[in-house]
Amino acid sequence: MSAAWDPERRLPICLTCSHGGHLTEMLLLAEAFAGHDTFYFTYDADTTRRLPNAHLVPNMARNPVEFLKNLGRVWRLFREKRPGLVVSTGAEIAIPVVLVAKLMRIPTVYVECGAQATHPSVTGRLMYWLADQFLVQWPELLRVYGPRASFRGSLIDMDAPFREDRSAERRMRVTLVQPAHQSGFSSDQPPMGLGYIASVLQQRGCVVRLLDANVEGLDALDTARLIVQQDPDLVGITVTTPLAPGALDIVRAVRRAREKPPLFVAGGPHPTVLPDELVARDAFDYAVRAEGEETMGELVEALQAGSSVGDIEGLSWWDGVTETVRHNPARELCQDLAALPYPDWSLFPLRRYSSLARRNDFCLPITTSRGCPYQCTFCYKGVYGNQLRMREPEDVADEWQFLVERYGAQEIAVLDDNFTMWEDRAEAICELLIARGLDRVPWSTTNGIRVDHAPPRVLELMKRAGCYRVYFGIESGVQRVLDLLEKRIDLDQVRAAVDAAKAAGLEVGGYFMIGNVGESLEDMDATIRFALDLDLDIVQFTIATPYPGTKMYEQVVRDGELLIDSWEDLASYGAPVFKMADLAPEDVARKYREGLRRFYFSPRFIVSQFRQMFTWTGFKHRVLGALLLLKMTLGGRRAPAGGKAGEARRPKPDRG
């Protein structure tokens, strides 16, 4: 650091970045220099426009005229502001800034937190040469980065090594992957489980990359090709049941391509319920069962130390000596959710996600609790269990604020199974959102809340705190079916909750299932009528689907017939996947389409959409939604030819 530097003295400081690719770092820098008068010099872009005190200039890439103009702009700016320090992250934009700073004898610091640490570009090298200090990690930042700090980069200035420098160490390279859905329809949302795992790995010194094959539209072979190119030491794949065949395809393709393949770890619902399906000599080396943070952390520590994995709770692994799958004892549920790091969204292609169920495309998720004490027969709860664990309101509001301020999230999706279960806590969270001005950012409870935990005062406060829509898990309009599903709600509670939410000014969405175990044709009709009679803005009908590990799955395997050829078929929204007693698959498919058609093609719904067409996202979502509905209601997917339940339990063999 320059001799003139005194952190106690209040200084004007110029922070420079290019298009906001370094936005996270720039905001962290501002935080690190809190107490000084910081201002930004950046390119004019969507991301940078949100920065406070920003001087926005046109992009000068390959434009010498703009380069010269920027020299003039910086000169005038610095004459006016007289900065005591210039700190830059982006290389190209920093060149005129640092040149002028040199002329004006202002100390300059170059902070590079990305790949340039190991592979500096030409402009990066020029910056190292120009700047007084060439830091890719900055001691000041330790305070705001927390434990991640010492791993985010390394010191380039070898003559004055920073004592936390880890650049010489061999760090484990990890690629985290979400496979693409190979069939069915699903909206694109960032996989939060991988976000948590990424943060845990970075805390342990790993270099983490993320590949969301789903949002990038990559099939198994292309995903494998990219993994081979990245050449990681370890690949972690998130696996729900329908993703299991695709995940295995990826692993086997990488294994075929590499003489010395990386280690493969599966995590998520499917490895939790059926680890034996994934762990094998030619497949995954490890399966992390249930919550993954602690287990994965201990696994990479053991791998880095070369020690045994035999004691790591929650882990299943391939034992090459006995050629068997070993299952270590289960791990206790995490009791201190506040101790978990926030998911690292900076690794995700955030601008690529989009969901028709949101108002804004740039929406980030949050979970404020884990677990659920209910036992609905269709719901898989192997990951988070029956014990409800709630985060403190302050902790929730802190992460919420972080998502809005650091990433610029335009909407928040609450993914909890039970956001309002403790009503006082939900109210306290809402109060904090209002107090911190976060009520300006719209949010919704996308995974549904229970109708028996939706009193008017909570709903009203949610609305005031920025919530625009609640979804309720209603499932059926027939009490007998609700009882069979062990939902533990009644139809009066449904009506009361929907009315209360509408009265609070919220949009209301209802989740319904058609073709449940024990349901008759009349029951399905009654459910559709019930859904139409409620004052709902959105409905989602799904065909009841038994996932392994649920009571419904046991019922179907015991008393009926699964009609699937592969686990992939369980991602279908349009085709029945089981046959049972009087429940004919053709009737279920017909009623499913009828429900959608009668709700979405009703004049009331169509008229209600007009006022939402006046924004670009609103218009786009409605056009895409209409196309999707046409596909689902007119075509639908034909029911699979069917195989025996026993055969269907195994995923398809590798398709090469």
Residue 544: CB minimum distance to ligand B12, A: 10
Neighbours of 278 (CB within 10 A): 26
Residue 448: CB minimum distance to ligand SF4, A: 7
* Residue whose CB is less far from ligand B12, 100 or 265: 265
Strand order in the sheet with 467-475: 363-366, 411-414, 443-449, 467-475, 507-514, 538-543
- List binders of ligand SF4 among 250-289 (CB under 6 A): none
Binding mask 408-427 for ligand SF4 (x = CB under 6 A): ---------x----------
Q: Which residues here bind ligand B12, judged by CB under 6 A? A: 184, 186-187, 189, 191-194, 196-197, 236-238, 240-243, 265, 267-270, 288, 291-293, 296, 367, 379-380, 383-384, 415, 417, 447, 545, 547, 571, 573
Tokens 């085709």 sit on residue: 575
Residue 527: CB minimum distance to ligand SF4, A: 16
Binding partner of residue 292 among ligand B12, ligand SF4, none, CB cut-off 5 to 8 Å per kind: ligand B12
Binding partner of residue 384 among ligand B12, ligand SF4, none, CB cut-off 5 to 8 Å per kind: ligand B12
Q: 481-484: list long-range contacts, CB under 8 Å, 24+ apart.
A: 481/516, 481/518, 481/519, 481/523, 481/527, 484/377, 484/516, 484/517, 484/518, 484/519
Nearest CA to 511 out of 577, 585, 417, 373 is that of 417
Query: How far from the centroid of its chain's Cα atoms is residue 171's Cα?
Result: 25
Residue 417: CB minimum distance to ligand SF4, A: 4
| Degrees, nearest 5: CA angle 210-214-218 | 90
Binding partner of residue 376 among ligand B12, ligand SF4, none, CB cut-off 5 to 8 Å per kind: ligand SF4
| Residues 264, 251 contacting (CB under 8 angstroms) | yes
Half-sphere exposure (Cβ direction) of 398: Cα atoms closer than 13 Å: 8
Burial class of 230 by CB neighbour count within 10 A (0 to 12, 13 to 18, 19+): middle
* Residue whose CB is less far from ligand B12, 116 or 240: 240
Residue 377: CB minimum distance to ligand SF4, A: 9
| Residues 440, 433 contacting (CB under 8 angstroms) | no
Residue 382: CB minimum distance to ligand SF4, A: 11
Residue 105: CB minimum distance to ligand B12, A: 50
| Distance of alpha carbon 150 from alpha carbon 338, whole angstroms | 22
Residue 629: CB minimum distance to ligand SF4, A: 25
- List binders of ligand SF4 among 346-385 (CB under 6 A): 372, 374, 376, 379, 381
Give me Rg for the CA atoms of the chain: 27
* Residue whose CB is less far from ligand SF4, 450 or 469: 450
Binding mask 463-492 for ligand SF4 (x = CB under 6 A): ----------x-------------------
Binding partner of residue 407 among ligand B12, ligand SF4, none, CB cut-off 5 to 8 Å per kind: none
Tokens 């005591």 sit on residue: 84
| Distance of alpha carbon 198 from alpha carbon 194, whole angstroms | 6
* Residue whose CB is less far from ligand SF4, 551 or 655: 551
Binding site for ligand SF4 (CB under 6 A): 372, 374, 376, 379, 381, 417, 450, 473
